[in-house]
Structure 1
Amino acid sequence: MTFNPSVGLPAHRLAWWLLAACLAWALASWLSGANLDGYNDMLENVAWGQPLRWGTHKHPPFFAWVAGLWFMVWPQTDWAYRLLSYANVFVGLLGVWALGRRLQLGRLAPWGALLLLWSFPYTSLAGKFNANSQLLALWPWAAALLLASWQGRGWRGLASSIALGLVAAACMLSKYYSGVFLAGFLVPTLLNADGRRWLATPRPYVALAAFGLAMAPHLAWVASHDWAPLQYAMDQGGGSTNWRYVARFALSPLFYWLPAWLALCLVWARLQSRASGQPWLRCAAQLLWRSWLPRGGGDTLFWLAFMPWALTLAFGMAGVAELSTPWAIPIGYAFALLWLRNLHTLYPLAQDGALARLGRAWWPVLALVLVLALVSAAMNARKGDLGYYRPTAQAARAIVHDWQQRHPGQRLAWVGGDWAENAMLTFYAQPRLLTVPGLPDGERARLLGLTDWQARPGLLLCPLGPVRAGQLPAASACMLEAQQWLAAQGLPATAHMLEAQRSGWRFPRPTPFAYAVFDVDGPKR
């Protein structure tokens, strides 16, 4: 069924709303956080993306490629990284819009994208660019291209099928978890007449061939490197069911998408209640429940929205994998389209008024987001939050400058030590610096291409944390491991200590942080 609602805004203006919201969230993310994420996932991406490889010791490489290619154009700064995070969101929202059009939802399609900007995966959680958030940009386009391949004819159908295979490969090359998402395509394909007819054409096999060709170099790399990322993925399964994690994942659609879901259903219910005289609470309860329901067994939109959550939950209950709640970040790409379609079907006369009210709230909500970002930054600054005051960029520049002062004319070739915080050197101070996890002769370092460390000057970096009352922190595990390894290699094991701190009006409580640096010039003979 095709919907052609008049919601008071043309589609091109709604597209500008998407762009403005993504830019506002990028600014808010940069304002509220004086550093990148606390787990160093974003620095890890940069380390893997320089240079581009077909694999890593931990994950498939696509999201690292994206980061690496982005910083070939943009400066290596925090604000540019935040911009990448929300450019990724913008691409994904365009995919949601395209999916809505393929589902013939008419002018409801852009609202299916807009409403996702009132959910946590596309806003606050999207600020950390990693394997999970990369899928925000890819899954909607894969679903839209599946329908394009169903509906296409001739060369257009073949082109859509090739694109489907390539995007599906990008999904898998971002995170193997995407295999669950792609497996979920089987249900709507078999239950939909267009999907069943599609299986009798060359198009699905063209898509499969494109997928296989795109995956082949990665699989060859994995096979020649001891199956390292596959082993890491398999280690995520505990062999038993963790019911606490299962329960958290089961509820993730509610608490991750709660603001958008409540805003849509409650406003719609309010208008319907006024028009029909039905009690508002009863109308709201009906909409909240029925917004999730299918329209028959062959409801393609329902199955696209439902299957990633259901299959993941099934694997978790079977003990195949220990579920992590952040895995739910990409699963809700079709939720808002489902809610809109169902609410329109139930109460179409309330639609224009509900969407108009949500539209009027759009700019005040974005203004509130920016105000809250400033408040968050002020609170972190005032209470001395260590994640806020950690001088990552300042320390990176100080360490590289100190190396240059102590080794004039000798360019630093690699850095090991505390992964992935040691990647701060390549991001903030010396672009393209080879960054490896741990020790230079370890297996993970070999996977990242460091095989001749003896002939190349490098250092081991161990962040030690804040300096309290003028006293250096105790030696860390990284520092002790570095000293033991250097002694075994016949190299000096004395740490070169440096301190750095944030300053300026944003940092009224300066806190020095200490860093231990060990030079590695090669083994003594």
Structure 2
Amino acid sequence: MQTDMFPDLAFAATAERSDRNPAAWRQPLLRWLDGIEAGWAVPLLLLCFVAVWTGYLTIAYSGAGLHPDVLETWAFGRQLAWGYAKHPPLMGWVARAWTTMFPLSDWSFHLMAMTNAALALWFVDLVSRRFVTGDKRVIVLLLLMLTPTYQFHAQRFNANSVQLATWPLATYCFLRAFETRTMPWSIAAGTAAALAVLGKYYSIFLVMSFALAAIAHPQRRAYFTSASPWISAAAGLGALFMHLDWLVASGGAPIQHALAHAASDLATSARDSLFFVLGLLAAMALPAVTWIMVVGARIRRLPAEMAALNGGLRLLSSIAIGTVSLPVVNALIMGTDLPSLWALQGLFMFVVIIVCGTSHRIARFHTVNVAVLTAGIAVAAATVAAPLHALYRNNHGYEEGRTYYRQTAEEATRQWRELTGRPLAYIGGTESLALATAFYSADHPHYGLPAAADQPAADPSRETTEERGWVSLCFRDQPDCIGRAERAAARAGHFIRREFLVHSRLLGNVGCERAVVAYIVTR
């Protein structure tokens, strides 16, 4: 009687026959896999990934504007600084650099998001190369492409998704520094860790995991008695110096924003921590099932293989555990929010550990099958799911109003120019509409109202802003926004209230509608 906990799903005999005499349709994929160590297979995979998923985003959101987080990132990057009101500066820097090379359009920002995801996967491959060669390198990338992390999470280019690339880069540099203890890699480790922190302060958990993993490693004495960790620390602090100076001068504005997520009681934090872990497990569900299908009954070897990890993988496993456990401990102590999406950028470590820690060879039959599965999902998403998503959203809209962004920006700009005859300079109101108008209006006004309004002022002084005038936009079903806008307009002394309807449109087809209220201060 078969008593194995896991039936043999590896189809070993079929795999062996296929590898000896592969079907004709498998031949191109086999030639592609032959190019892994030659250096062209992984770049080709990533180029295809960017092309297909950029196409998906362009089609799926063809009747809608960019996500408010993306618009906020662009707004931050309009003024280069060492920090911004909500976040450290890396996301704004990237958006600013991108828009110096590419046009200000939706497809451009979709391409930026997917390029960032592909760069993240490239850095993951650098980590994998430390431990394996050939097909297993590609399997790591394919399994990660089966998570929602590098497509759907990545498309909202913000302080969370910018970490997709910084975390594997910092991890790779730290592994090399720990292994070699040379000055170049030590400097690179510190600088890359600082870059991750400049992306989001959540990356402090990654840096702490580096330190704790090094302390727990059998070679800790050799590492800590060398100059490497101290060079890394000095390089990291040096790279952060200007931001720390800005942070002090600004009164710690991003820290104050982060502390707004620290007001939960122990029961709420415990519940959030549970859902945090469950969310990460859910994100890994499809890759986990796929991996079990590949290895079959050999999954029983997993505990023994994890216990026999080499020094580098053991170090990586300690880092991976730290990036999950430290946020949970912090949430329970500090009462902070803990959405699982904050940690998605660290899941690559678990995939690398399990695939690279597997001692047996993976048949080409399985590698090709995983590649076909991954490609099939991507192509189906771009050709079937994306048009259906666009059609559905054109008829039902988004809560934040993305289907009306462009129309609202155009109408608000038209009415302003009709009243004043000059470009619109400043825009306020509900954050999503204001940011969207700043992006989609031909005038590209600055986001922010005068200091007299109930939100922070923009770059210029109150006097200059009031002299040039401004527009504040709210959806009619947002009474709080309308109240703030009306009070700010009343303080300005002279304003005009306008109301207009906007309709979603997809390829000329009119969908849902929503009313917008505009307060126009003309002087």
The code of the aligned residue for 1:450 comes to: P
- Give 1:10's aligned residue: 35
Aligned ranges 1:311-390 → 2 under 5 Å: 311-342=326-357, 344-345=358-359, 348-370=360-382, 371-381=384-394, 390=403
Query: Any idea what the Cα deviations from partners look like across 1:235-263, whole Å, max 9, x if unmatched?
Result: 21125322221111122231012111211
1:461-507 Cα offsets, whole Å, 9 max, x none, are: 2231xxxxxxxx45632222121223234x124313344333353x6
Query: Conserved in 1, the CA contact under 8 Å of 2:426 and 2:446?
Result: yes
User: Gapped runs of 5+ residues in structure 2?
Assistant: 1-18, 20-29
Q: Does 1:90 align with 2:118?
A: yes
Q: Which residue of 1 aligns with 2:150?
A: 122
Out of 399, 419, 440, the position equivalent to 2:431 is: 419
Shift of 1:105: 5.5
Q: Please say if residues 293 and 302 of structure 1, whose CA atoms lie closer than 8 Å, have aligned partners that are also in contact.
A: no
Equivalent residue, structure 1, for 2:16: none
Classify 1:64/1:121 alpha carbon distance in 2 versus 1 (closer, same or farther; 3 Å): same
Match status 1:514 vs 2:520 = no
Q: Which residue of 2 aligns with 1:494?
A: 496
Q: Is the 8 A contact 1:441 1:451 kept in 2?
A: no
Q: Deviations over 1:445-468 (max 9, x none)?
A: 34x53334445523232231xxxx
Please list, as runs of the form range in 1=range in 2, the aligned pairs for 1:41-56 lying within 5 A after superposition.
41-56=69-84
Change (3 A) 1:497 1:105: same
Q: Is the 8 A contact 1:180 1:312 kept in 2?
A: yes
Residue 301, structure 1, aligned to residue 302, structure 2:
no
Change (3 A) 1:206 1:384: closer
User: Relative to 1, partners in 2 of residues 1:504 and 1:131: Cα closer, same or farther, differing over 3 Å?
Assistant: closer
How far the C-alpha of 1:108 sits from its partner, in A, is: 2.4
Alignment partner, residue 483 of structure 2: 480
2:260 and 2:400 map into 1 onto residues whose CA distance is 29
Match of residue 469 from structure 1? none
CA RMSD of aligned residues (A): 2.8
Tell me the equivalent position of 2:209: 184
Name which of 183, 193, 200 aligns with 2:225.
200
Q: What amino acid maps onto 2:211 in structure 1?
A: L
Comparing 11-20 with 87-96, which one deviates more in the overlay? 11-20
Residue of structure 1 equivalent to 2:53: 25
Give CA deviations for 1:165-214 in whole Å, capped at 9, x if unaligned. Answer: 22212211111111011100013222335554233333322222221122
Q: Secondary structure at the match of 1:188?
A: helix
Cα 1:163–1:297 change in 2 (3 A) is closer
SS at match of 2:79: coil
Aligned match of 2:468: 457
Distance in 2 separating the partners of 1:20 and 1:339? 25
Provide structure 1 residue ranges, at least 5 long, that are not aligned to the other structure: 1-5, 274-282, 465-472
Cα shift at 1:150 = 2.6
Q: Please say which of residues 186-195 and 78-87 is displaced more in the overlay.
A: 186-195
Provide the rounded CA distance (Å) in 1 between the counterparts of 2:521 and 2:189: 48
Aligned to 1:279: none
Q: Of 385, 391, 407, which aligns to 1:394?
A: 407
The one-letter code of the counterpart of 2:418 is Q
CA distance in 2, matches of 1:389, 1:206: 47
For the Cα contact (< 8 Å) 2:132–2:356, is it kept in 1? no
Q: Distance in 1 between matches of 2:90 and 2:455?
A: 19
CA, structure 1 residues 510+303, in 2 after alignment: closer, same or farther (shift >3 Å)?
Answer: same
Q: Name the SS of the counterpart of 1:329 in structure 2.
A: helix
Counterpart residue number, 1:3:
none
SS in structure 1 of the partner of residue 505 of structure 2:
coil
Cα distance 1:253–1:488, how it changes in 2: closer, same or farther (>3 A)? closer
Identify the residue that residue 177 of structure 2 maps to in structure 1: 149
Amino acid corresponding to residue 457 of structure 1 in structure 2: R
The answer to whether the 8 A contact 1:418-1:463 is kept is: yes
Tell me the distance in 2 between the aligned counterparts of 1:210 and 1:191. Answer: 23
Displacement of 1:443 in angstroms is 8.6
Deviates further, 353-362 or 166-175 = 353-362
1:349 and 1:134 map into 2 onto residues whose CA distance is 34
The CA deviation at 1:442 is: 5.6
Structure 1, residues 25-81: CA drift from partner, whole Å, max 9, x if none?
12112212233465x111111111111222222211211221122112211111111
Shift of 1:133: 0.9
TM-score by length of 2: 0.84
Please name the residue that 1:467 is paired with.
none
Q: Output one character per residue of 1:123-161: Cα deviation in whole Å (capped at 9) or x when no partner.
A: 2222111111111011000000112223346xxx32332
1:167 and 1:374, CA in 2 relative to 1: closer, same or farther beyond 3 A? same
- State whether structure 2 residue 228 is matched by structure 1 residue 227: no
| 8 Å Cα contact 2:504/2:512 also seen in 1 | yes
Q: Is the 8 A contact 1:26 1:127 kept in 2?
A: no
- Contact preservation (8 Å) 2:501, 2:515: yes
Count, aligned residues? 483
| Pairing of 1:196-275 with structure 2 (within 5 A) | 196-238=221-263, 240-241=265-266, 242=268, 243-269=270-296, 273=297
- Aligned to 1:519, the other structure's residue is in SS state strand
Aligned to 1:79: 107
**Cα 1:105–1:453, aligned 2, differ >3 Å: closer, same or farther?**
farther
SS of 1:412's equivalent in the other structure is coil
Instruction: State how far apart, in whole Å, the 1-side matches of 2:211 and 2:134 are.
Output: 25
Identity of aligned residues (%): 21
Number of the residue aligned with 2:9: none
Q: Which range is displaced more, 64-73 or 510-519?
A: 510-519
Q: Distance in 1 between matches of 2:101 and 2:307?
A: 45
Aligned partners of 2:414 and 2:196: how far apart in 1? 40
